[in-house]
Amino acid sequence: MKVLVPVKRVLDYNVKPRVKADGTGVDLANVKMSMNPFDEIAVEEAIRLKEGKNGGGVTEIVVVSIGEQKAQETIRTALAMGADRGILVTSDEKVEPLGVAKILAKIVEEEQPSLVILGKQAIDDDNNQTGQMLAGLLGWGQGTFASKVELAADSVTVTREVDGGLETDRFTLPAIVTTDLRLNEPRYASLPNIMKAKSKPLATKTAADYGVDVTPRIKTLKVVEPAKRSAGVKVADVDELVMKLQAMGIAK
């Protein structure tokens, strides 16, 4: 059984984003980029399934990244964690979720995976759209926001964190799963595995190779930083605090 894992290169989650002076977007010049954290969880889950979780059955993990040439570093990270093979799809234009989903649908047609595990959202644009769109394009079932995944020969059972509890759904394979934070804790790649990953196969394609038009459909009008918090006030004691809250009409 083959598992496909799409991984996106994004601004590292530890980096404080700076908005470009002209307000057209976030400044990505000379900042640390990493694999989207939810995609690390997706790669980890695929590896655990290949390592024998739920009795094994997964024989190959293919990772895909769509973006600039440097996204191959993200693929190499996934290969160092334990994925088998990578596909890099380069594009000079930023590819929106619909374009990503269309390219992934073509790759699914070629690769015939039983399961696609994506992150629930990319932390750069917070779209939370790609997995759902891919499921729509393929007509497959989708278990989104997975906090537990159990794979059987012809189905996948997904536990999802919903308001007020846990929902468990079973999907017939092939299916789409998107990962939530609590699904697992991704491993770090060891140095020997980082070295080994350099010789794992990585195919490079373009969006045009798949016949997908990635012309943007969204025009970002403006990006602004969040409003700065105004300075706080120090109070000497609880009485002063209560007096101030009363003056503001917050306490009686």
Q: Give the x/- contact pattern for ligand AMP in 106-135, rule: CB under 6 A.
A: ------------xx-xx--x-xxxxx----
At 208, phi and psi to the nearest 5? -65, -30
Residue 91 beta carbon to ligand AMP: minimum distance, rounded to whole angstroms: 8
Of the residues 97, 113, 143, 186, which one makes contact with ligand AMP according to CB under 6 A: 97
With binding defined as CB under 6 A, does residue 98 bind ligand AMP?
no
H helices present in the chain, as ranges: 37-51, 71-81, 97-111, 130-138, 191-197, 238-247
Nearest residue (beta carbon) to ligand AMP: 119
Residue 131 beta carbon to ligand AMP: minimum distance, rounded to whole angstroms: 6
Name the pairing type of β-strands 175-179 and 202-206: unpaired
Q: Which residue(s) pair with 86 in the sheet? A: 63, 202
Q: At what angle do helices 97-111 and 130-138 cross, to 10 degrees?
A: 50
Q: Which of residues 28-67 bind ligand AMP (CB under 6 A)?
A: 36, 38-39, 42, 64-67
Residues in the chain: 252
Judge whether 120 and 131 are in contact, CB under 8 Å.
yes
Residue 2 beta carbon to ligand AMP: minimum distance, rounded to whole angstroms: 17
Applying CB under 6 A, which residues contact ligand AMP? 6-8, 36, 38-39, 42, 64-67, 95, 97, 100, 118-119, 121-122, 125, 127-131
